[in-house]
Amino acid sequence: MAKVIVVTSGKGGVGKTTSSASFATGLAMRGNKTVVIDFDVGLRNLDLIMGCERRVVYDFVNVLNQEASLKQALIKDKRCDNLYILPASQTRDKDALTEEGVERILNELKEDFDYIVCDSPAGIEKGAQMALFFADEALVVTNPEVSSVRDSDRILGILAAKSKRAIEGHEPIKEHLVITRYMPKRVDLGEMLSVEDVKELLSIPLLGVIPESESVLSASNSGVPVIHDDNSPSGQAYEDLVGRFMGEDIPMRFLDVEKVGLLKRIFGT
């Protein structure tokens, strides 16, 4: 049975789309047939991060309005055989999203795919509510700072109250915490919340911690999900995260300040 996973956060700019792109890529690289849907209608970004923006002809809203078939709108990733992207519309707004329409598309996708990753827009308005409504599991993306944690808390409340599973009284959505843009150095200086602080506040299981890294920005700009970058700590952290999601026991990395070796200290980087 296909699983619908929403990547959500409440707050904007915390790394939902970056996480969606790398998470979906990671699932696909492990042989799962995966589709990632951009729910941010009107502000499409996922196609840029995935490097397929020029190949967008039909989009999510076209399929919702039955102006195009799913087959026409799905874009096959150029690096991964098992990965497809359903881009958002640039010209429409979130009113185009209807519960019936989204459900119809998800049901159609469930026949072909193992995982359906929904990249939620920021906020708690319709777009975000539609992205999470049909979810079976949720990745809650949080930065280690108070406003981001507060917004994630709010989203967790909505997952527990306004999702289809909650309304129909089924087993609740399985929640996973993803902490992004983590900087151990600033945590040590007391400028940033620690992993423990965030875990304590949100009280949901931790799936992964993604360290802040320059490679994330360059990966976004070049349209290659950072998980493809084996040399990047962020890419490795996403790799670990996907492994944990698939049930592997992988210890957390990049939580402590990197020890600078003697040679590195002498010769620099």
Give residue for tokens 């940033």.
Answer: 192
Of 12, 13, 157, 205, the one binding another protein by CB under 8 A? 157
Beta strands in the chain (DSSP E): 3-8, 34-38, 75-76, 83-86, 115-119, 137-142, 174-182, 206-211
Cα 237 from Cα 244, distance rounded (Å): 11
Q: Which stretch binds another protein (CB under 8 A): 35-43, 77-85, 156-164, 246-254?
A: 156-164
Q: Are 121 and 20 in contact (CB under 8 A)?
A: no
Provide, rounded to whole angstroms, the least separation between the CB of residue 7 and another protein: 19
Q: Which of 57, 160, 246, 250 binds another protein (CB under 8 A)?
A: 160
Report the chain's C-alpha Rg in angstroms: 18
**One residue of 53, 153, 186, 223 binding another protein per CB under 8 A:** 153
Instruction: By CB under 8 A, tell whether 150 contacts another protein.
Output: yes
Give the strand order in the sheet containing 3-8: 75-76, 83-86, 34-38, 115-119, 3-8, 137-142, 174-182, 206-211
Which one, 12 or 31, has the nearer CB to another protein?
12
Whether 252 and 244 have beta carbons less than 8 Å apart is answered as no
What's the closest the beta carbon of residue 206 comes to another protein, in angstroms?
Answer: 15
**Of 11 and 44, which has the nearer Cβ to another protein?**
11
CB closer to another protein, 82 vs 142: 142
Judged by CB under 8 A, the chain residues 43 through 82 that form the site for another protein are: none
* Number of alpha helices (DSSP H) and beta strands (DSSP E) in the chain: 13, 8
Contact characters 188-207, another protein, x per CB under 8 A: ------------xx-x----
- Helices 195-202 and 146-162 cross at an angle (nearest 10°) of 30
Q: Under the criterion CB under 8 A, does residue 174 sit at the interface with another protein?
A: no
- Which residue in the set 161, 262, 263, 266 belongs to the binding site for another protein (CB under 8 A)? 161
Q: Determine the interface stretch with another protein among 38-46, 153-161, 189-197, 236-244 (rule: CB under 8 A).
A: 153-161
Confirm if 177 and 204 have CB atoms less than 8 A apart.
yes
Per 3-state DSSP, the chain is made up of helix, strand and coil in percentages (nearest 5) of 45, 15, 40
Q: Identify which of residues 6 and 41 has a Cβ nearer to another protein in the complex.
A: 6
Number of residues binding to another protein, judged by CB under 8 A: 12
Q: Under the rule (CB under 8 A), what is the footprint of another protein?
A: 150-151, 153-154, 156-158, 160-161, 200-201, 203
